[in-house]
Structure 1
Amino acid sequence: MTLTIRGDYITYLRETPWDKRNFGVNTYEVTDIGKEALEETDAYEGHFTIKVDPLENPEPLLRHGFYYVDTLIEPVCQRDNLQVFEDNHVRITKDYNPSAILAIAEEAFTLGRFHRDFHIPDALADKRYKNWVDDLQQSGKLFALTYDSDTVGFYGFSDNKVLLLGVRKDYRGQGFAKRFTSLSCREHFKAGYEELQTSVSAVNAPSLNLFYTLGFRLRGAVDVYHKLNGAFA
């Protein structure tokens, strides 16, 4: 159970301002699945996210207006297990043109939970991921992927977590992703981590296969439910 004391009352809602700026409504992460937490979501307008064990009984969630959107698989990789695929044409760099990265981000994410949420227009889901990529650029937590001198993708991270991968459309389906990602992971490990973690939608078979090829193994999973009180502008 996670709760916060805000002023003179207890709340189970954690505000997510990075999503509010994209969707134009109040957005929250629900930090507990208990009765009081679910009842609190009934008292406010906005968009809510809750992550639960897949074995959890969903009936209370459904009764309070939540709906299933995704299952996130959680692969992890130990430093010694990483499989690296060398390619003399591929380079990982932090010296890149930000606009080239944002252009890739505009069309790289179609299998995420925000695109699967039938309440969220695709344009807003696209905006959400593009702004996330921009945030990672601004904080220095993104590698650009180049093939010769061509910017073809990106790898976003925070601490030991692999957050976002994007490869330009004309480079997909040709085996480049495992080269780009393995070299990025090797660079990521240089920060001193013994383990990298990531989170992949269960419907994103290409990404799951990619990480398995690189030496990641599945540790767990969570089901994600959303709820919308009100409407998007």
Structure 2
Amino acid sequence: MEKIWINDAWMEYRETPWDRQSFGVQTKEIMAVEYSNEEDLAMLVEEFEKTLEEEALVYFRCDSNDLTVKKVMISKGYYIAECSCLMKLARFKKIDFGKIYKNDLPLDTHYDEKDIEQLQEIARESFHYSRFHEDPFIDLEKAKRRYEHWILDLIDQGKELFLYRSGDEIISFLFYEVIDNKANLILGGSKDGYGMMTLYFFSTILTHFQKIGIKKVEVMISASNLGIANTYIKFGFTDQMTFFDYHKIFKKS
């Protein structure tokens, strides 16, 4: 992580080599900003852009209600590519998820190379929403490829994984992490044609989280993905915060 300071304002950003693999250009993500006035924020953006050495894709997810960020980013040539929602499920200890949907699917946590290929295929062909899928200036095939690389990156990071199988076929999966009794759902869903299994799959996982003492569950989803948003709402999730994802593509001069 790198950090830039202007007076008392600062910006954190990082290189994202896993996305460079997908898009074939330098990729950087602005992770956070802290500022007290519009002028300092504008200078932060200008200083950050000096770190770009070639053709690049930059992205930055920020509170959609931050009008100063919106004004500065748009004035600097950034555009809003996606709106996302942070959804939370808190104090769910006494919820009987079995009364909402079947919650006794067999969950598997073991996988091999063939399973990884199946996960990549599901992510590529069955997932249609993301900060890159919804960007009209990014080639859709590259956005799909990004999901394939993300699967490998999550495995390399050692993120926890639940699978539901039918024979040797993976039907549903979920990558997640648990920090301080809070489960963060990272990436998951079901194979095309098995959308209803997502309901049973999530019900089973949430019941498991209850049993091991998880107190909160969070997930970030695209606001355009109404199907999955309604799924989470059925289980008691509420929308806590919305974000805009700002993008800018830098061409070679």
Is the pair's TM-score, using the shorter chain for normalization, greater than 0.5? yes
Query: What are the equivalent positions in structure 2 for 1:11-160 lying under 5 Å apart?
Result: 12-30=12-30, 31-32=32-33, 34-43=41-50, 44=52, 45=54, 46-57=56-67, 58-78=70-90, 79-80=92-93, 83-84=97-98, 85-86=101-102, 90-96=105-111, 97-138=115-156, 139-147=158-166, 150-159=169-178, 160=183
Contact 2:159 2:175 in 1 (8 A): no
Contact 1:101 1:144 in 2 (8 A): no
* CA-CA distance at 1:204 after TM superposition: 0.6
Provide, for residues 62-115 of structure 1, a one-character-per-residue CA deviation record: whole Å limited to 9, x for no partner: 111100011111111124265343255x32111243222222122122111101
Contact 1:155 1:184 in 2 (8 A): no
The normalised TM-score by structure 2 is: 0.78
Q: Does 1:210 align with 2:222?
A: no
The percent identity for this pair of structures is 24
Give 3-state SS (helix, strand or coil) of 2:231's partner. Answer: helix
* CA-CA distance at 1:184 after TM superposition: 2.2
Distance 1:73 1:5, change over 3 A: closer
The normalised TM-score by structure 1 is: 0.84
Question: Which residue among 212, 219, 225 is the counterpart of 1:198?
Answer: 219
- Partners of 1:182 and 1:204 in 2: CA distance: 19
Q: Does 1:219 align with 2:240?
A: yes
Contact 1:41 1:48 in 2 (8 A): no
4+ residue segments displaced more than 6 Å: none
* CA-CA distance at 1:200 after TM superposition: 0.9
- Partners of 2:82 and 2:159 in 1: CA distance: 29
Distance 1:64 1:125, change over 3 A: same
- Partners of 1:148 and 1:184 in 2: CA distance: 20
Task: List runs of 5+ in structure 2 lacking aligned partners.
Answer: 36-40
* CA-CA distance at 1:141 after TM superposition: 1.9
Letter in 2 for 1:47: L
- Partners of 1:200 and 1:5 in 2: CA distance: 29
Contact 2:172 2:191 in 1 (8 A): yes
- Partners of 1:63 and 1:123 in 2: CA distance: 29
- Partners of 2:29 and 2:118 in 1: CA distance: 32
- Partners of 1:37 and 1:107 in 2: CA distance: 38
Distance 1:12 1:188, change over 3 A: same
- Partners of 1:128 and 1:59 in 2: CA distance: 29
Q: Does 1:167 align with 2:180?
A: no
Superposed CA RMSD in Å reads 2.6
Distance 1:60 1:140, change over 3 A: closer
Pairs aligned (count): 224
- Partners of 1:152 and 1:16 in 2: CA distance: 30
